[in-house]
Homo-oligomer: A and B are copies of this chain.
Amino acid sequence: MRSIDRKSLEKALETYRVLDEDGNLVGEEPSISDSTLVKMFEYMVRARVLDEWLLKLQRLGKVAIHAPNKGQEAIVGAVMPLRPEDWVFPSYRDLGVYLVRGMSEEEILDRALYNEDDPLKGSDFAIYGNRKYNMVPTPVPVGNQIPHAVGVAYAMKYRGEDLVTMVMFGDGATSRGDFHAGLNFAGVYRVPVIFVCENNGWAISVPFERQTRSPSIAFRGLAYGVDSIRVDGNDVLAMYTVAKQAIERARKDKEPYLIEMLTYRLGSHTTADDPSRYRSEEEVREMMRYEPLKRFKRYLVDKGLITESEADELYRRYSSYVEEAAKKALNKSPLPRDIFFYNVYSTLPWNLKMQLEEFREAIKTIEEFGLEVD
């Protein structure tokens, strides 16, 4: 049993920040190289642009569904301090994370459109991942990935490697058994995992106060013996600083860490949602004041690392870039029709072989009569 000291409690109940909502320094300035700072901003812009394009493609009926990330772009700060060999289990709302890990806009679009180049072979919607980037595709059932990340971290420690695992999930996910088990195992086995809870105030229509009466998610982390901190999650510098420390400690001391990222979802839950049913426009307008891009841009402009017009240019550049990429992705062929028979087992068991025959007969009939099915 561990005791709880005053300092741990404060970290779990107060909110760590570096910049205020206008981009003024209010905490200790982290020492981050200029190029990293600019890169960080660029990722955030790319995430914003891509988000807008996925929304557009969804409205055009090309993309099945999209979970907007607008307002939560500061998550890129949490992943940037990772090494490529570290593992990441992203959430479905983490466009910026995919980009930082090396995924291109092209690949994200191929995935969203599940065309012939979809690395996940048309398995599910609104999820992204690729072994190439040590980024495991998100399971749609909320929270499932949490204990997986802990297992991976255990295996890293077991192998004596100095790698870490990071896993993202929402505030709603903290109510699930997966969170409970994952945090508990991480505490008991002391493994190098960093939990990032993106507390955006809402789980679809359920506000945080109705999700839990806990003082904070970070406080809840302490209840598993996992050191935890609450961070202004719209302040990318705060996110970066805190994550960097957590990652270094995990790498060295094999200690888990929980970061509660206080943020706000400015868009709808997904493109299938209608937030006007449960929250006011005023709330959203008010929260726009705290959004992460504007704030960070101010800091960069004040620091002389970027000008307003350079920032605008960046946005425009990526917009045309994604437009091109979308055109290309839309022109690709669909996946083979029998794709879903593969990747269930490493080889086809006899019942799947028989069913594949039946499937081929059906295709013949479809073609014979020119039936419309797909």
A212 at interface by CB-CB < 8 Å = yes
- Roughly how many angstroms separate A216 CA and B225 CA in the complex, as a whole number? 10
How far is it, in angstroms, between the C-alpha of A2 and the C-alpha of B213 when the chains are bound? 7
User: Residue A224 contacts which of B181, B210, B213 (CB distance < 8 angstroms)?
Assistant: B213
CB < 8 Å neighbour of A219 from B4, B181, B187, B210: B4
Oligomer copy total: 2
Q: 8 tightest CB-CB pairs across the interface, nearest first?
A: A213-B225, A177-B177, A187-B213, A223-B223, A180-B180, A220-B223, A4-B215, A2-B215
| Interface-central residue, A175, A184, A210, by most chain B CB under 10 Å | A184
Q: Which residues of B lie under 8 Å from residue A4 when comparing CB positions? A: 9, 13, 215, 219
Give the residue of B175, B181, B190, B214 whose beta carbon is less than 8 angstroms from that of A223: B214
- Answer yes or no: A85 CB below 8 A from chain B CBs: no
Query: A3 contacts the other chain (Cβ, under 8 Å)?
Result: yes
Question: Can you sample 21 A-B contacts with CB below 8 Å?
Answer: A1-B208, A1-B209, A1-B213, A1-B214, A2-B214, A4-B9, A9-B9, A177-B180, A177-B181, A179-B180, A180-B180, A187-B212, A188-B210, A188-B211, A212-B224, A212-B225, A213-B225, A213-B226, A214-B225, A215-B222, A223-B223
Query: With contacts A177-B181, A181-B175 known, is A13 near B3, CB below 8 A?
Result: yes
Contacts of A223 in B (CB 8 A): 214-215, 219-220, 222-223
The residue from B2, B13, B184, B219 contacting A175, defined by CB atoms under 8 A apart:
B184
Q: How far is the CB of A195 from chain B (nearest CB, A)?
A: 14
Q: How far is the CB of A210 from chain B (nearest CB, A)?
A: 6
Number of interface residues of A (CB under 8 A): 32
Within 8 A of B (CB), among A266-320: none
Please give, as numbers and ranges, the residues of chain B lying within 8 Å of A3 by CB-CB distance.
Answer: 13, 215
A188 in complex: contacting residue of B13, B212, B215, B219, CB < 8 Å: B212
Give the residues in chain B near A187, CB-CB below 8 Å. 212-214
With A4-B9, A177-B180, A180-B180 given, is the CB distance from A215 to B211 under 8 Å?
no
Residues of chain B with a CB closer than 8 A to A175's CB: 180-181, 184
0/1 string, A41-68, CB within 8 A of B gives 1: 0000000000000000000000000000
Cα–Cα, bound, A179→B190 (Å): 22
- Whole-angstrom distance between the Cβ of A144 and the nearest chain B Cβ: 13
The interface residues of chain B lying within 8 Å CB-to-CB of A181 are 175, 177
Nearest-neighbor residue (CB-CB) of A177 within chain B? B177
A170-202, CB < 8 A from B: 175-177, 179-181, 184, 187-188, 190
- Besides A213-B225, A219-B223, 10 more A-B contacts (Cβ < 8 Å) are A1-B208, A2-B214, A3-B215, A4-B9, A175-B180, A177-B177, A179-B180, A214-B225, A222-B223, A223-B223
Contact code string A201-239 (vs B, CB < 8 Å = 1, else 0): 000000011111111100110111110000000000000
A183 CB → nearest B CB, Å = 10
In the assembled complex, which residues on chain B have CB atoms less than 8 Å from the CB atom of A212? 184, 187-188, 224-225
Distance A213 CA – B226 CA, assembled complex (angstroms):
8
What residues of B have a CB within 8 angstroms of the CB of A2 in the complex?
Answer: 213-215
**Which among A180, A212, A215, A223 has the greatest number of chain B C-beta atoms within 10 A?**
A223
- Say how far A32's CB is from chain B's closest CB, in angstroms: 31
Give the complex CA separation of A213 and B214 in angstroms: 19
Chain B: minimal CB distance from A51 (Å): 29
